[in-house]
Structure 1
Amino acid sequence: MEDQPGQYQKTIIKQYPARSLNETAESRYWRRFRAPVLAHPGGAISCIDFSPVYPYNYAVTALTNVLIYDAHNRKQIKSWSPLKEKTYSGTFRSDGRLLVVGGENGRVQVFDPYAGNKDERLVRQLKGHERPVHTTRFAPSKFHVLSGSDDATVRWWDITTEEQLYRLDGHTDYVRSSACSPSSSDTWATGSYDHTCRIWDIRSQECTMTLDHGAPVEATVFLPGGSLLATAGGTEIRIWSMLAGGRLLARLANHQKTVTSLAVAPLAGPAATSAPRLISGSLDAHVKVYELDAFKVTHVSKYPSPVLSVAISPNAALLAVGMENGQLSVRKHSHNKGPVGGAPAKPKKVWHQRLTAASYRYFVRGTTEKPSKDDVKISQPGMRRLAPYDHMLRHFQYRAALDAAVATEQVEVVANLLEELAARSGLSAALGGRDAQSLLPLLMHLVKHLSDPRHSDLFIGITNRILDIYAPALGVSEDVDAKLRLLRERAMLEAKLQTSLVKLQGTLEPILHAALSQQPVAEE
């Protein structure tokens, strides 16, 4: 029904944007990693590695222990102390049958993790490093191992003869991470505390590229396809283009403390993300997920202790996080109800109710249809339904209208009605002449919502007006006196806070302007 001249106009309630962003499909996917199983392997967990083959069991390296967990039930099935000292970087071979481990004494050992006798588990022992070995990796060929040590060297081993084939020199500080390119088994990346990541060609035993990360490099990983490399050091993750000669593509500074580990979430299963994701763990106790198109954070998880290692299973069903306090958290994705890696469950048939007069949908059909350009709308006169505060406002009952608005307990309704009363010069009539019983609900509403940033300016002005009106009546009611004192304190605190924020904004504006005006420095 169209409004007629002289007809009362309803109070328009302003619509404000949501205080938080709606949850996206990406966030919902990562939130489905639920029901964490917690374990305590016995010390800070420096490395977690999933077997590349089904059933995707995972190895956990914690102080002197190496533990193997069953991916089906996330329970420990093997545990031993291979070196009787600190161990590092327990990683599987591509067939999942062997495990290579570095040690504090400089030895590199190859184990059969599923051997029944502990004495039979040791397969090979590679000696040559002079200081602790923090990173070890099997080559795709299965017969070679690359290791990096605190003696600043990278070594290439033949496990069939237990001999060192190559020694790669170039780093000037501890070597703490390594990764093999998925596009070439002869291309390796090693990260060091000398702030560089070096790209090696094993065939020529030469460094083909040096990338300056700008901080001690803690982790390196090639992204799918091998054209991009991610390095982590300090609070930054940097993305490098291998095809462009090591050009820096992005700097991701989303952590507050040192980034300790990186992992790549694969595309696996119909419920997985639309593309692989980069996962990072940090000493700030957060694990963050990045999409690889614009390198934006899509999900964040908080853990109770600094994160030292993070890994995800090849089928993207298990997410494992190792922490500094010795706690291991393993979460399973809820889309996989059966054994991890098993055949996906058959989709359930959806039953559709038949549309008959026995269902409610039968009577509301067509109500959501939009009119076409040829349709004619015929309006019928009818009664306009007014809210109680609108009905009283229409009859100039300003005090009763304000009471009705407060009774709704909706801050937007009260704020808009106060603005309407101010426009009608009716605030004095609405606020004044109240007894204790009618004044208390209004005071309680203002105390509760005075700090709401959307209405704080309006409510502070109303508070000052109320204090001016009822200051002479102090001492009549103890409840009113208590609420007036509390309201005065809240108003003074809010005003002081807003003054501080204005000063802070004035301080930050020139800094932000200078930062935005700087042009990015071209990388060599």
Structure 2
Amino acid sequence: MGEFKKTLVKQYPRQGTGLTPDNIYWKNFKFPITVQEFGCADFVHFSSDGDYFAVTASARVKVYTCINNEISKGLSKFSKTAFGGRFRKDGRLLCAGSEDTNVRVFDVNNKHLLREFKGHDRPVHRCDFTADGFRVASFSDDRTVALWDVGGEARLHALEGHTDYVRAGACSPASADVVVSGGYDHAVRVWDARTGTCTEKMDHGGPVEAVLVLPTGGLVVSAEGRRLVTGSLDRRLKIIDTASYQPVHTLEYPSPILSVGIAPDDSKIVVGMSDGLVSIQDRKPEPAGETAERRPARRAFRHKTDTVSQPVRSEEDEKASAAPIRQQLDNYDRHLRRFEFSRALDAVMERQVTRKQPERAVAVMQELLRRGALSAAVAGRPALSVRKLCTFVGKHLSQPRFSLTLLDAAEVIVEAYSDRVGRGDPDLDLALDGLRAAVEKHSEYLESLYALQGGLDMLLAAAAAGDGKKLAETPAVESSEKMEVEAVTAS
């Protein structure tokens, strides 16, 4: 029996830029430690010295120690959900808002409740200490921003101007008299804490969920090699270059991101998610006495030494090395070798394959089409498996490198399940409807391309005909001009 021929997986050039210093820097983190909270992780904040970080979730604020990532303190003097716990600059006090409309100030060391500011009519989602540490600004759903005196426990100002919920806010770290707020009325306002007046208003164009005042005190920083970190409900954390405001690196998480905190020295990333998961990642330490400049040279020297100092091989070793080496096969090739077509297709429909190596899944489909076995591989599947197939085909159908194979695969899937459409299986109907919509969209795309190609062909043909006509007329013009010159000379 001949040797089994492995499935040919075409290698395509990787899209995007190569490895950059930002990629190397932000990939140099350990495997994340995850902590499960009882409610969504609303806010993460690091103390200015980087020794602690606070996670606000459910009806408490937990203070973690950065050295061992363990809970050091638990602040739970809340009757309802807590929001936006922030440290003061010295790390000794922490303020937090609440769904019960009150703002609380805690002593972090002994967990005592020092102040409770009452005056808002609706929940307070964010609060912050001013730069001098003597006042607290609170941002509430009652459309106001309040300034509180920590020492006297009195409200100094009620800043009015927003026309919808105020869910975002921060105080300037460079000035004790500058407060910034953002609301669902699409407005970002800058307030003077001395007079309680709005000095600047900007239209954001959409509801504002977070604002950041940069360490320099400006809202927009000049290009100084700094980075902004953003989290989103699409489960991606992006590092943004403030010079071009383009993402330079992306990290993915298992759930929608609600809050992000980074240690002052970039040694730790803490991400809070909507399902209560908190991801904690520490930066990998550099080996002692080793730098990035020395590491490649040392590797090259070790490789050179190993190559030179190879042992002398005997005749028995030569015979053993001449023996045939057992072929290493991937899971899908093992199933194909045993004619287990359905299992081979299942092996490449795993999430890690479809997301990171879709070319392998397409290669297996192409091999099954070549063998005429794709119909048998897709038949008799539950609705969830059919939906996974249809989603993959519809997602990658528009890519030119996959379109021919996936169009044939889509036809096979539709033929295999056409008799089950409309028979009380909504998941199957939804999957096939999605596949049909993807094929129709691809057909419209091809029609527009063909129309564009036809128009370009007409233009090129007309241009070529015009050039040929000019070339044909050029000798006649030259000869007529020559005859006129000769006639004038003769006269």
TM range (shorter): 0.5 to 0.7
1:199 to 168, 179, 190: 190
Distance 1:331 1:166 in 2: 40
Unmatched 5+ stretches in structure 1: 1-14, 230-240, 244-266, 268-273, 338-344, 363-447, 468-479, 511-524
Pick from 46, 53, 63 the counterpart of residue 49 of structure 2: 53
Amino acid across the alignment from 2:31: A
Q: Which runs of 4+ in 1 moved over 6 A?
A: 348-355, 480-486, 494-500
Instruction: Find the partner of 1:110 among 83, 86, 105.
Output: 105
1:305 to 228, 234, 255: 255
- Within the candidate set 174, 180, 187, 2:171 is matched to 180
Structure 1: which amino acid aligns with 2:20? T
**Is 1:134 aligned with 2:125?**
yes
Aligned to 1:493: 408
SS state at 2:212 partner: strand
Deviating more after overlay: 121-130 vs 43-52: 121-130
Change (3 A) 1:24 1:326: same
In structure 2, how many angstroms separate the alpha carbons of the residues matched to 1:74 and 1:122? 24
Q: Secondary structure at 2:200's aligned position in 1?
A: strand
Instruction: Report the 3-state secondary structure (helix = DSSP H, G, I; strand = E; otherwise coil) of the residue aligned with 2:210.
Output: strand
- Per the TM alignment, residue 281 of structure 1 is displaced from its structure 2 partner at its CA by 1.2
CA distance in 2, matches of 1:353, 1:163: 65
Shift in alpha-carbon separation, 1:491–1:177, aligned structure 2, 3 A:
closer
Q: What secondary structure does 1:221 align onto?
A: coil
What is the match of residue 292 of structure 1?
242
What CA distance in whole angstroms lies between the structure 2 residues aligned with 1:354 and 1:325?
47
In the other structure, the counterpart of 2:88 is 93
How far does the alpha carbon of each residue in 1:193-235 deviate from its partner, in whole angstroms, 9 at most, with x for none? 1111111111222111111112111000123433334xxxxxx
Q: How much has 1:186 moved relative to structure 2?
A: 1.6
The code of the aligned residue for 2:275 comes to N
**How far apart, in 1, do the equivalents of 2:64 and 2:153 lie?**
28
Instruction: Specify the alignment match of 1:69 in structure 2.
Output: 64
Aligned-partner Cα distance in 1 for 2:305–2:36: 55
**In the aligned structure 1, how far is the partner of 2:123 from the partner of 2:441?**
52
Instruction: Tell me if the contact between 2:137 and 2:171 (Cα under 8 Å) persists in the aligned partners.
Output: no
Aligned to 1:190: 181
**1:475 match:** none
Residue 22 and residue 509 in structure 1: after superposition, are their counterparts in 2 closer, same or farther (change >3 A)? farther
Shift of the 286–354 alpha-carbon distance from structure 1 to 2, 3 Å rule, reads closer
Q: Return the alpha-carbon distance in structure 1 between the equivalents of residues 23 and 46 of structure 2.
A: 24
User: Which of the residues 315, 320, 326 maps onto 2:270?
Assistant: 320
Match of 2:345 in 1: none
* Structure 2 CA distance for aligned equivalents of residues 16 and 41 of structure 1: 42
Structure 2 residue 20 is matched with structure 1 residue 24: yes
Q: Take 2:130 and 2:450, find their aligned partners in 1: how far apart are those partners?
A: 52
Cα 1:508/1:192, change in 2 over 3 Å: farther
Deviation of 1:280 (Å): 1.1
Alignment-mate amino acid for residue 209 of structure 2: E
- Structure with bigger helix share is 2
Q: Give yes or no for contact 1:34–1:331 (8 Å, CA) kept in 2.
A: yes
Aligned to 1:503: 444
Residue type of the alignment partner of 1:332: D
The answer to whether 1:79 aligns with 2:74 is yes
Alpha-carbon distance between aligned partners in 1 of 2:191 and 2:299, rounded to the nearest angstrom: 64
Measured against aligned partners, the alpha-carbon deviations of 1:233-280 in whole angstroms (never above 9, x if no partner) come to: xxxxxxxx8x9xxxxxxxxxxxxxxxxxxxxxxx9xxxxxx8221111
Q: Is the 8 A contact 1:317 1:336 kept in 2?
A: no
The answer as to 2:193 corresponding to 1:216 is no
Cα pair 1:41 1:67 within 8 Å, conserved: no
3-state SS, counterpart of residue 55 of structure 2: strand
Matches for 1:33-48 after TM superposition, within 5 Å: 33-48=29-44
Superposed displacement of residue 62, structure 1: 0.4
Change (3 A) 1:82 1:508: farther
Extract unaligned runs of 5+ from structure 2: 1-10, 309-347, 349-357, 378-403, 412-437, 452-491
For each residue in 1:81-137, what CA deviation from the matched residue of structure 2 results, as whole angstroms up to 9, or x when unmatched? 11121111110000000000112222111101220xx5xx11112121121111110
Q: Is the 8 A contact 1:36 1:329 kept in 2?
A: yes
Report the residue type matching 2:262 in the other structure. Answer: I
In structure 2, the partner of 1:521 is none
Structure 2 CA distance, aligned partners of 1:51 and 1:44?
21
Q: Which residue of 1 aligns with 2:282?
A: 332
Distance in 2 (alpha carbons) for counterparts of 1:36 and 1:354? 32
- Equivalent residue, structure 1, for 2:484: none
1:423 is matched with which residue?
A: none
Q: Which amino acid aligns with 1:301?
A: L
Q: 1:85 aligns to what SS in structure 2? A: coil
User: Structure 2: how far apart are the matches of 1:491 and 1:354?
Assistant: 45
State the SS of the aligned residue for 1:30. helix
| Residue of structure 2 equivalent to 1:227 | 218
From the superposition, tell whether residues 132 and 493 of structure 1 become closer, same or farther in structure 2 (CA, over 3 Å).
same
Give secondary structure in 1 for the equivalent of 2:114: strand
Quick one: structure 1 residues 20 and 85, their matched pair in 2 at CA, closer, same or farther if it must change by over 3 Å? same
Equivalenced residue count is: 341
1: distance between equivalents of 2:115 and 2:86? 15
Tell me the CA shift for residue 353 of structure 1.
11
Give the residue type in structure 1 aligned to 2:139. Answer: G
TM-score, with structure 1 as normaliser: 0.56
Contact 1:42 1:65 in 2 (8 A): no
Distance in 1 between residues matched to 2:450 and 2:190, nearest whole Å: 42
In 1, the alpha carbon distance for the partners of 2:39 and 2:450 equals: 46
Conserved in 1, the CA contact under 8 Å of 2:50 and 2:265?
no
Please report how far the alpha carbon of residue 300 of structure 1 lies from its aligned counterpart in structure 2 after TM superposition. 1.5
Whether contact under 8 Å (1:35, 1:331) holds in the other structure is: yes
CA pair 316-495 structure 1, distance change in 2 beyond 3 A: closer
**Residues 492 and 131 (structure 1), Cα distance of their counterparts in 2 relative to 1, 3 Å cut:** closer
